[in-house]
């Protein structure tokens, strides 16, 4: 099967569902998600950008003005709306998958892809940007380790997990496509040809 046929098979098996990128900040959800969407010919949506549009302010300002609980509720509502859209590649914020209601909505309307990364890589990547509200207080490495400890057990519920590392994004995209093919074949009704 050629690449175009393999990509068409993935899109067909998605059957209108979204591919939802989950993982910690710095794992590459948006960068890899954009390339994945391009390869599949699907729209790419960054949930954080949609949250900022809906709120009329940056995520950093939402955290500062209203706190994390307020942000998480807005995030849940925006994600619920986005998940009702047509098939897309949707990059979520690092904490989105922690919400049980959001996980259930993703399971019902999409297929979740977790990008998992080791601590040194995440710390190196998040240090490049200073707009991460959860890293404002405390040592970024300690905060990231705490988030890994809290979130990785929940992220393990994702349909597909791929290790993010310092390789070209296309390598990670190819691994995701391979895992999606396997996961979607496992989901296929008996007698459904690959």
pLDDT of residue 188: 58
pLDDT of residue 192: 46
d(CA 134, CA 164) in angstroms, rounded, equals 21
Name the phi and psi angles at 45, rounded to 5.
Answer: -130, 130
What are the tens digits of pLDDT across the range 14-29? 999 999 999 998 899 9
Say if residues 61 and 136 touch (Cβ distance below 8 Å). Answer: no
pLDDT of residue 194: 42
d(CA 79, CA 139) in angstroms, rounded, equals 30
- From the centroid of its chain, how far is CA 148? 15
Task: Please write down the HEC assignment for all residues of 120-150.
Answer: HHHHHHHCCCCCCHHHCCCCHHHHHHHHHHH
pLDDT of residue 134: 57
Global model pTM greater than 0.85: yes
Q: Which residues of the chain have pLDDT under 70?
A: 1, 128-138, 187-194
Angstrom distances, CA of residue 48 to CA of 12, 58, 116: 28, 9, 19
pLDDT of residue 127: 75
Residue 181 tokens, joined: 């093919």
Nearest to 20 by CA among 114, 129, 137: 114
Name the phi and psi angles at 115, rounded to 5.
Answer: -100, 115
């Amino acid at each position: 099967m050629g690449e175009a046929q393999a990509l068409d098979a993935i899109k067909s098996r998605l059957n209108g569902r979204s591919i939802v990128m989950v993982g910690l900040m710095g794992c590459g959800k948006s960068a890899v998600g954009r390339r994945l969407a391009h390869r599949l010919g699907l729209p790419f949506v960054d949930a954080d950008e949609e949250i900022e549009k809906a709120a009329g302010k940056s995520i950093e300002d939402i955290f500062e003005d209203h706190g994390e609980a307020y942000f998480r509720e807005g995030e849940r509502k925006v994600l619920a709306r986005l998940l009702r859209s047509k098939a897309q590649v949707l990059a979520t914020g690092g904490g989105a998958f922690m919400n049980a209601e959001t996980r259930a909505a993703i399971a019902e309307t999409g297929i979740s892809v977790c990008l998992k990364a080791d601590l040194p890589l995440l710390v190196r990547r998040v240090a490049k940007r200073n707009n991460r509200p959860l890293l404002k207080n405390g040592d970024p490495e300690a905060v990231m380790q705490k988030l890994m400890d809290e979130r990785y057990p929940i992220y393990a519920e994702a349909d597909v997990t791929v290790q993010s590392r310092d390789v070209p994004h296309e390598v990670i995209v190819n691994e995701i496509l391979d895992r999606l093919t396997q996961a979607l074949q496992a989901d296929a009704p008996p007698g459904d040809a690959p």
